[in-house]
Amino acid sequence: MGRLLNKIKEPNDIKRISPKLYPILAQEIRDFLIDHVSQTGGHLASNLGAVEITMALHICLHFPEDKVVYDVGHQSYVHKLLTGRKDEFTSLRQKDGLCGFPKRCESDCDVFGTGHSSTSISAALGLAVARDLEQKEETIAAVIGDGALSGGMAYEALNNLSILRREKKNMIIILNDNKMSISENVGGMSRYLNDLRSRRSYSEFKENVENALNNIPGVGKSVARTLKKSKDSIKQLFIPGMLFENMGITYYGLVNGHDIYELIHAINRAKQHEGPILIHAITRKGMGYKYAEKNPEKFHGIGPFDKETGEVLAKKTKKTYTDIFAESLVELARENKKIVAITAAMPSGTGLKAFKKHYPKRFFDVGIAEEHAVTFAAGLAAQGMRPVFAVYSSFLQRGYDQVLHDVCIQKLPVFFGIDRSGLVGADGETHQGIFDISYLSHIPNMVLMAPKNEKEMPAMMKFALEYNGPTAMKYPRGSVYDGLSEYNAPIELGKSEMIYEGQDVVILAVGNIMEECEKAVQLLKSQGYNPGLVNVRFIRPMDEEMLHVLSKKYSLIVTVEENQLIGGYGQMVSAFLHKNVCKNQLLTLGISDYFVGHATVNEQREEAGINADSIVKSIIDRMN
């Protein structure tokens, strides 16, 4: 197995393989990916669909001198294989192992790190302009999926590509069109690309017409030149590719994204082009593995699975916070007809598929467009609706200005369901939800909450959807914590919840870290200490009344959060104690000043010092 793949030890080794063997190599790559991702988990379907595109780039380009930026980056596994990292795949997405995304510190061939959508064209344009300023001879390419073209940043970059056209400088964009992002694509661009797919190859048609005219004796060449120069040239007569052509980007398509020879031909032609050029390649997500082809959404990001059956090995035994959010929202919307739900191309990941099923006319998938989603929600709220934007914490970062400017200044009742808040595990730096307290807690009018367990979540959602102003609730990826269910004081604005009274030391737990904090309390009790425990609930507004009480009773106050310490809840408590001239000791536990890499959540908590054992050690060290 892998006879050809085993010959690839370093970048450009693929060039030593006979062209007639390329299809066999493609199959070996797919077999390798299925075998390894079935053991480690990872992004499978998108990589299976990008095998031939990546092979063609590595055949036509020379690495690391030439450069490719992969949008989002989860489809870069084949690139890693072809640049000599095959033996590292046993550690894929594991602590200190191979990253699931391009990473500059991992290889010279990973020219630009990615993880979020719609960034590749901007980055590649920057690389191309730098190349030209330094008068280098390099081929620069961006690989972007059709789903990423629903993101506004991609169009800002396409618009800016005119600087290359003006100077007749080359840059290649490969549109990897599989009709999906994670879920099925939506919106006007998706419909436009669907229309392109249904038509005959524009590039082939244009060439055939020009060739035919050139062969007409006497006048043919003159007519062809005239058509090429005229505003009403042949490209204006037929729609395919016009959006890109009108932006000054030559459109080349359609290309079979699984025909390695057709792709090589297209890329070699594109390299010779003066100006930016887009190759439109049609692919199939999950290509070559029947279970991924049948259910590409399931195999977009998947845990370890049985490759013979396609079944995930670790069966879900408990509900997730996303499940509880989804179920509760459906119930609340049954009572309140003004509730509408919004997702930015993540209906499955955020749990909104259930809402869509029950209330299709009140469900809106805006595509990969978080900035638009926030202001769209603000507009709905201004007209009396109760919009809920379910979004991953790391992706809401992209809509920060809109949260502040369009929602909070106007005190509009938009509810943000912030999924994947805190540490997320194997997706690493680009997807950690450890900044949301820092970027939301300082905005006037914002109410920011975090439930301690499964039972508290629906009550917080009900409060949020009855509150007359902006609200946000942060909750983690993964299974719910079902402990402390007997503690269920009513949700009141800005009020925390006392779980255990104690002496000398009290722990203030923010949201899902309560599970580790409760374990820490039991460990401390076993060692003779008597700690108090508080469920923070409301990060903003902060429960100052509770803090006044705690400051008078406990000599040591400890805050624990899955957030950056800078700008986090602990710093808010520190500011309160300083303002009120309190003499208490304060211990703030959270994420220090670093980006958290890929590992398990437990490993990440241990590294940050916020697992139960680390919390206990920090408290005892401080008290002694």
Residue 469 known to bind ligand: no
Q: Is 436 annotated as a binding residue?
A: no
Ligand-binding site membership of 41 (annotated) = no
Q: Coil, strand or helix: which one is 149?
A: helix
| Catalytic residue (choose from 235, 398, 452, 537) | 398
- AA letter at 86: K
**130, HSE (Cβ side, Cα atoms, 13 Å):** 9
The reply, when asked if residue 18 is annotated as ligand binding, is no
119-147 as b/e: b if 16+ CB within 10 A: bbbbbbbebbbebbeeeeebbbbbbbbbb
Q: Which two tokens stand for residue 113?
A: 């790190």
Region of residue 515 (phi > 0: left; psi between -120 and 50: alpha; otherwise: beta): alpha
H or E element: which one contains 498?
strand 497-500
178 is in an annotated binding site: yes
Q: How far is CA 212 from the centre of its chain?
A: 48
For the chain, the C-alpha Rg in angstroms (whole number) is: 27
Establish whether 365 is an annotated binding residue. Answer: no
Residue 148, marked binder: yes
Total H helices, total E strands in the chain:
26, 19
Residue 569 DSSP SS3? helix
**Catalytic status, residue 285:** yes
- Residue 408: DSSP 8-state: I
Q: For residue 416, give the H/E element and its range.
A: strand 415-419
Cβ contact 51:78 at 8 Å: yes
Catalytic residue of the set 370, 454, 515, 516: 370
- Rounded to an integer, what distance in angstroms lies between the CA atom of residue 452 and that of residue 475? 9
Sign of CA dihedral 526, 527, 530, 535: negative
Binding residue per annotation — 117? yes
370 annotated as ligand-binding: yes
The residue annotated as part of the active site, out of 67, 93, 285, 362, is 285
Establish whether 50 is an annotated binding residue. Answer: no
Token pair listed for 92: 């894929």
In terms of Cα–Cα distance, which of 114, 99, 118 is closest to 42?
A: 99
CA 494 to CA 481: how far, in whole Å?
Answer: 22
Tell me phi and psi for residue 178, to 5 degrees. Answer: -115, 15
Task: Give the position of tokens 């400890």.
Answer: 558
**Sequence ranges of the binding site for Mg(2+):** 146, 178
Catalytic residues: 285, 370, 398
**Sequence ranges of the binding site for thiamine diphosphate:** 74, 115-117, 147-148, 178, 289, 370
